[in-house]
Structure 1
């Protein structure tokens, strides 16, 4: 990160690490700061709250806060062995078994709030970048898809495995994929449950920039420098995207309501599959922490 001077923000977090440039034009958020403690690299409620607490603190909500010609950047990355393995399946299982629709919907809504923040550029003056140096599955891939640009290193696994336990990715995957690939391919990616390499996703058009292992951060820095050379054009493109490419909040919420109802209809076989995946995640986390 030597080409972009960074300062640690003063606020303390448990699940994330954040860095900002001295002029506050560039912000990096690293998920899974607690990975060394063996925490699963998924969207646990505390992670979501800290992520959106940070993005809220750097969002300019009106034209008076935003400065003409000032382009900012937000990079979503990870300190864990994975970018993100998706939703909190342990929580899902408990809420489904207890028939707790209210809290399941509350969790889903919090995810929707996040992807909406990312796709709209934190108020419009920010270009959002997802840096994938580890696997991005399920909700982790959905969060990356909500960003303006996906930069991925070679060999990263990407996919939507929810169909394996009878569910589908309900926090924007289909809608965001349809902005990048054909609806037919988007539906196949949602329903086939296949894990693809980042090289395959790049060929399909899902990944924007593909680089070698260990080159992701440098590629993001290069991208930021390129875009800062034409800030007015990229600010205008944010406005254009929010007109022609934006997935409406109502669409996201309508789909996640279907997701909640589908989840609550899952049987014991599906829930046991979720539990097996959770145990696999725990073993992976323990190995990373060792």
Structure 2
């Protein structure tokens, strides 16, 4: 769980706790802020996706107008998990209703959000995922979309979508292939296993692993290290963009495949999703229908 930072700002995104340290161009985005006062699951609800995309747009405009040279944007969580992934309850309802249009709209909004972190908000920002609790499915994809992943020991991450005969369709393959071989990326997606932060660092999928409670200090060290060589760092951001940035068109094509696959799922897969929703609801202390 994230420690308290100074200088929180007021904002209208109730699922986020945003801290803007404009004097040093560091911006912290904590997901699931609303769960401190209301029941819910720490997943990518439509509210959370909308709030993230909206704030990204606001921050991008602000940084562009300020001329910030090397801003840092940190994605973290106010829950005891980073993020449990897509909204499985919503998936079930839309699949049962045959509502491909709404499911595609949700998936495309998710893609825009993760691609914006991947693309540095369009202003060469350095995106950092601070993973202090488990990151599953779309939660892991969101972490992978960031340029640097800092994780605490014992955190588990993975892509379990194969449990309900689906695949992670919001960037996992594209982002993992920047870090590991396509063969390994495919194996991780099709086996659906969970891995510790330590295992993922050995694979090359996580950059920094630190003991529990030291994640924020590690993020600050990453920021300090980048600022010791500001010109080289800024140049490398341009090189990264020129050589490895995943086109959003590629991600949108993949997410259409994901939607078409989801719409074909049968009762067995939907029952598995519903069981996972109940398990997520139990762990968050909510009522189960």
Q: TM-score range by the shorter chain?
A: over 0.9
Partner Cα distance (1:162, 1:198) in 2: 19
Contact 1:30 1:76 survives alignment (8 Å): yes
Equivalence for 1:35: 35
In structure 2, C-alpha distance between the alignment counterparts of 1:5 and 1:91, rounded to whole Å: 33
Match of 1:56 in 2: 57
* Residues 5-14 or 20-29, more deviating: 5-14
Q: Is the 8 A contact 1:6 1:22 kept in 2?
A: no
Task: Call closer, same or farther: CA 1:263–1:42 in 2, change over 3 Å.
Answer: same
Residue pairs, 1:38-117, within 5 angstroms: 38-60=39-61, 65=65, 67=67, 70-117=69-116
Equivalence for 1:174? 173
Aligned residue pair count: 282
Give me the whole-angstrom Cα distance separating, in 2, the residues matched to 1:65 and 1:39.
36
For CA contacts below 8 A with separation 6 or more, give which structure has more relative contact order. 1
Q: Distance in 2 between matches of 1:38 and 1:221?
A: 32
Post-superposition shift, 1:83? 0.2
Which residue of 2 is the match for residue 275 of structure 1?
A: 274
User: Gaps (5+ residues) in structure 2?
Assistant: none
Look up the match of 1:191. 190
When residues 24 and 53 of structure 1 are mapped into structure 2, their CA distance, relative to the original with a 3 A threshold, is farther
Relative to structure 1, the CA distance from residue 194 to residue 180 in structure 2 (aligned partners, 3 Å threshold; closer, same or farther) is: same
Q: Give how far 1:237 is off.
A: 1.5
Q: CA deviation at 1:19?
A: 0.2
TM-score using structure 2 length: 0.94
Q: CA deviation at 1:235?
A: 1.8
Q: TM-score, with normalisation over the residues of structure 1?
A: 0.93
- Match of 1:199, SS state, is helix
Give the CA deviation at 1:209: 0.4
**Per the alignment, in what secondary structure is the counterpart of residue 128 of structure 1?**
strand
Match of 2:252 in 1: 253
Q: How far off is 1:124 after superposition?
A: 3.0
**Secondary structure of the structure 2 residue equivalent to 1:38:** coil
- CA shift for structure 1 position 59: 0.5
Is the contact made by 2:72 and 2:223 (CA closer than 8 Å) also made in structure 1? yes
The answer on whether the counterparts of 1:119 and 1:147 sit within 8 Å (CA) in structure 2 is yes
The alpha-carbon deviation at position 24 of structure 1 amounts to 5.9
Structure 1, unmatched stretches of 5+, are none
Distance in 2 of aligned mates of 1:232 and 1:120:
19
Deviations 1:165-190 (A, max 9, x none): 00000001011000000111100110
Q: How does 1:80-159 map to 2 (within 5 A)?
A: 80-159=79-158
| Superposed displacement of residue 6, structure 1 | 3.6
Counterpart mapping for 1:203-282 below 5 A = 203-282=202-281
| 116-125 or 42-51, larger mean C-alpha shift | 116-125
Give CA-to-partner distance per residue, 1:190-241, whole Å, 9 cap, x none: 0101111111101100000010111100000111111122222222212111
Tell whether the 8 Å contact from 1:124 to 1:239 is kept in structure 2 after alignment.
Answer: no
Return the structure number with greater helix share: 2
In 2, are the aligned partners of 1:155 and 1:198 still within 8 Å (CA)?
yes
**Compared CA separation, residues 61 and 187, structure 1 to 2 (3 A):** farther
How far does the alpha carbon of each residue in 1:90-149 deviate from its partner, in whole angstroms, 9 at most, with x for none?
Answer: 000000000101000000000110111001101133100000000000000001101000
